[in-house]
Structure 1
Amino acid sequence: MKILLTLALLGASVGSAAADANHAIDADGAIRSKADSSVTPAFDILAAHAHRDGNSITFHMTTGGTAGAEKPAAQGGLAGAPVWSYVWPTSLDPATVGFEGKSGILALAATSHPDFDDTPLYDENGDGDMANDGEEWHSHWVVLAPNEACGPGALSVRDIGENETPILPATWPGLPLFIDSPGFEPVFDGPEIAVSVVFADPDAATGASFDGVTAALKVNANVHAPLLCVTDVFDVASGNLSLPGKIN
């Protein structure tokens, strides 16, 4: 599946039913998807679900292989650097986690990208160097927006314009993007990846919807706007990016 599939996310009816016999929605709001032999097992989504406990929500994704086992190869620099990700697009307003309100599609992502580090507050590999951890799986909140510069119908992580001073989370890593590096650690257990996030407002996610996506992104070769484009969609839990999952 290629980038044009991201068009569906912008026009889909949030919370709509699964598209076909290969996808289903459980009574508890989880999304189920049949195995797809054309997708690398580590990124073949079999289920995506989210569970709330007070002001904490744990986002889960179950794959057909060993989640997190596959990582992109280093390219030697920021320009053209690949980013592989497990993503949960949501219906939440970006203001929920500290971004400018109504600024795009708020998504939780677990990413690996060996060519750069965008979590300056954390030492994920524990070696005492805070700036060499990009390859380790780590979490972000990102705001996605349509960007024709990435290709027809494509999405990018929303750029911050040269003269723009948007509202951003306290743990914004300093990149000219609507991105947050909150330090929520992805947990891998065989086929499963889980990320637990905390909201200041325990009712912030009431009624929220979500989906599950595995995807590749790439830093612009010119390291200029758009900085980070979605380039490939490996798999989509719902099959149609309609965000049918419900936070339980």
Structure 2
Amino acid sequence: MTRILLYAPLALLAVIGQANAHSVKSEPAEAVDAAFDIIETRIAIKDETAIFSTRVRGAAGAEKPAATGKFEGSDVYAYVWPTSLDSAEIGFEAKQGIVALAVTFHPDFDDAANGGVNRDVWHPHWVVLAKDEACGGGLKVIDIPEGPKPKLPATWPGVPLLIDSPEYPTTFKGDAVDVEIPLHLIGGISGASYDGVTAGLKVNGNLHAPLLCVSDVFKVASGDLSLPGKVAPLD
């Protein structure tokens, strides 16, 4: 699998591109594994539901990381939608970093809410990201330091990261992955900006901060994380 490193500054992630009520489309890239080669990504509203969708050149979800048998140093694959949402809109403290929905697979550990099991299935998370040059892909999921806990959503899985584990309906069918979120659970999504990313993440082998790095960026739908998509009613 081709590995494309991302060194975009955090300021670039915060850019809201030109409003676009349509999807973010990308030309096929033979150097990228077909399961992660984004062709189109979209967040649209249908009735009272926000639908996050990504289409790839191959079969979505076909590639999964190999199990290592331990948590430290293990791998995560993800289909990600970075957005312009504020972290307060998904249950964290305000203005913490870049809010993204991620559909992930990781065979070596569980991070479902309330002690649930999810290591053997693709499943969604909210994550809050920040720049960190210690990570191969230039970004990390923000660590929670020791001490008093900040504001956290009810479905926080208990790991020291700004990550949430809601049980949103998630579907893989052919070349597409879709996540459906009731609008009343995601304030501010209407009119938000977004992009699409496929990526690999890795748990720190020493279990120190940064605990979970974006280690490889396989593809960015816009090419530059400019968040050119605009959430709008489904055409």
| TM norm structure 1 | 0.86
CA contact (8 A) 2:194 2:228 kept: yes
Distance 1:178 1:139 in 2: 14
Distance 1:203 1:182 in 2: 15
Distance 1:13 1:121 in 2: 32
The residue type equivalent to 1:15 in the other structure is: I
Question: Which of 69, 80, 85 is 2:73 aligned to?
Answer: 80
Which range is displaced more, 61-70 or 50-59?
50-59
Partner of 1:137: 122
Distance 2:14 2:167 in 1: 31
Cα-to-partner distance string for 1:153-177 (whole Å, 9 max, x where unaligned): 8110000001242111110000000
Which range is displaced more, 180-189 or 211-220?
180-189
Distance 1:76 1:29 in 2: 42
Report the alpha carbon displacement of residue 203 of structure 1 after superposing the two structures with TM: 5.7
Distance 2:134 2:39 in 1: 32
Report the alpha carbon displacement of residue 105 of structure 1 after superposing the two structures with TM: 0.4
Structure 1 segment 17-36 matched on structure 2, within 5 A: 28-36=21-29
Gaps of 5+ in 1: 18-24, 123-129
Question: Which of 4, 20, 35 is 1:2 aligned to?
Answer: 4
Counterpart check, 1:67 vs 2:60: yes
Partner of 1:148: 133
Gaps of 5+ in 2: none
Measured at CA, do residues 215 and 203 of structure 1 come closer, stay the same or move farther in structure 2, by a change above 3 Å?
Answer: closer
Measured at CA, do residues 202 and 70 of structure 1 come closer, stay the same or move farther in structure 2, by a change above 3 Å?
Answer: closer
Distance 1:154 1:247 in 2: 26
**SS where residue 219 of structure 2 aligns?**
strand
Cα-to-partner distance string for 1:190-226 (whole Å, 9 max, x where unaligned): 0011011224367621320000000000000011211
Question: Which of 150, 159, 183 is 2:143 aligned to?
Answer: 159
Measured at CA, do residues 223 and 101 of structure 1 come closer, stay the same or move farther in structure 2, by a change above 3 Å?
Answer: same
Partner of 1:21: none
| TM norm structure 2 | 0.91
Partner of 1:126: none
CA contact (8 A) 2:197 2:220 kept: yes
**SS where residue 200 of structure 1 aligns?**
helix
Measured at CA, do residues 164 and 11 of structure 1 come closer, stay the same or move farther in structure 2, by a change above 3 Å?
Answer: farther
Displaced runs of 4+ in structure 1, greater than 6 A?
A: none
Which range is displaced more, 192-201 or 95-104?
192-201
